[in-house]
Structure 1
Amino acid sequence: MMYSTYEPTLIAPLVLGSEDGTSLCACQFTSGRDAAKFCWDGAERSDQAPVFCQARSWLDRYFAGEAPDPTRLCLAPRGTTFQQAVWEALLTIPYGQTVTYGWVARRVSDMRGSRTSPRAVGGAVGANPIGIIVPCHRVVGADGSLTGFGGGIKAKVALLEHEGVALTGLTVPTRGTAL
């Protein structure tokens, strides 16, 4: 295991992780509800590893206002087959747009050939280990609520505003897991 960090000015610092030095398995917030979710104790810090240089370059372009293609990175998130399908669907959400958990559920249902519930999708979206790059921040509730973001609601709002998403019609929860 190896890790590096990335410090954008828009949101809290991020920890980047790789199991093998060739593919990215994590891009995690250092604050918010998921801050302690992935433990990098005992991992070797390796800021110059090519996988981290590529990820930081991607993030630099993203935070400069570009829409870099996440599929250009070698991604290897750890998860169940179902979670992998949900994360693959997240990669199809265009920059600057939001979709609902129901939309993701329909997309996964089409991919897998079996019915998928938005609630199950919500669990998989919440388990996404490669935040921002696999754009879980673009998923909102059917009622327009900005729910379920591990980096915290302020980070989700900042990322959506950064992408030019009109927040009109979207609501910020006053309590719950998104905070």
Structure 2
Amino acid sequence: MSAKRPETFLLDRLKTPIGTALLVADVDGVLRAFDWEDHSSRVKELLRLQYGAVILKDARAPEATRAALSAYFKGDLASLKTIEWRVAGTPFQRKVWTSLPKIPPGTTMTYGALAAKLGMPKAVRAVGHANGSNPLSVVVPCHRLIGANGSLVNYGSGLERKRWLLAHEGVDVKRQVR
């Protein structure tokens, strides 16, 4: 029996108004992870959990991906829809992750509402766990999920980034419970 060879991904960095982002793409240029440089250990762990052993090789991400992300941070919120991405994860995680981009920019949804929308109203904690395991922060907009009482809870990159992203998208974050 031979051991599975490590998967090689390309690692790039992109300056944004809220820090340096890490862009991880596969050799075909498909985005596999997006996180923040100050959370590099988390992105490596999420990649390991999804793909097993991985090798990250410094290389420039596809220009279309970089341009779409830059446009998003300059205010073109629809540009995220143009980014080609792929995730591994469990079937349930993928179900949650593919539902997140359907939450329009400028709006939020509670974990419970998303669980109900997925036909599993009692799976609130499972939705929260899947959301927290999202390897494509911002691109798969996990920041749009909020607590049942409207609070900005559980954002792996910090609540200040979540607050900034939501305000950038037009959410009145002052109305959100702190």
TM-score by length of 1: 0.83
Flag the 1:115–1:96 CA change in 2: closer, same or farther, 3 A: closer
**Aligned-residue RMSD, C-alpha:** 1.9
State the partner residue of 1:37. 42
State the partner residue of 1:26. 33
Instruction: Give the Å deviation of 1:57.
Output: 1.0
Give the fraction of aligned pairs with identical amino acids, expressed as a percent: 33
Matched, 1:154 2:160: yes
Rounded Cα–Cα distance in structure 2 between residues aligned with 1:20 and 1:103:
36
State the partner residue of 1:125. 131
Give the 4+ runs in structure 1 shifted more than 4 A: none
Question: How many residues end up aligned between the 2 structures?
Answer: 162
Q: Point out the structure with the larger strand share.
A: 2
State the partner residue of 1:177. none
Structure 2 residue ranges without an equivalent (≥5):
1-8, 48-53
State the partner residue of 1:7. 15
Rounded Cα–Cα distance in structure 2 between residues aligned with 1:89 and 1:64:
24
State the partner residue of 2:109. 99
Structure 1 residue ranges without an equivalent (≥5):
173-179
TM-score by length of 2: 0.83
SS at match of 1:25: strand
Q: Point out the structure with the larger helix share.
A: 2
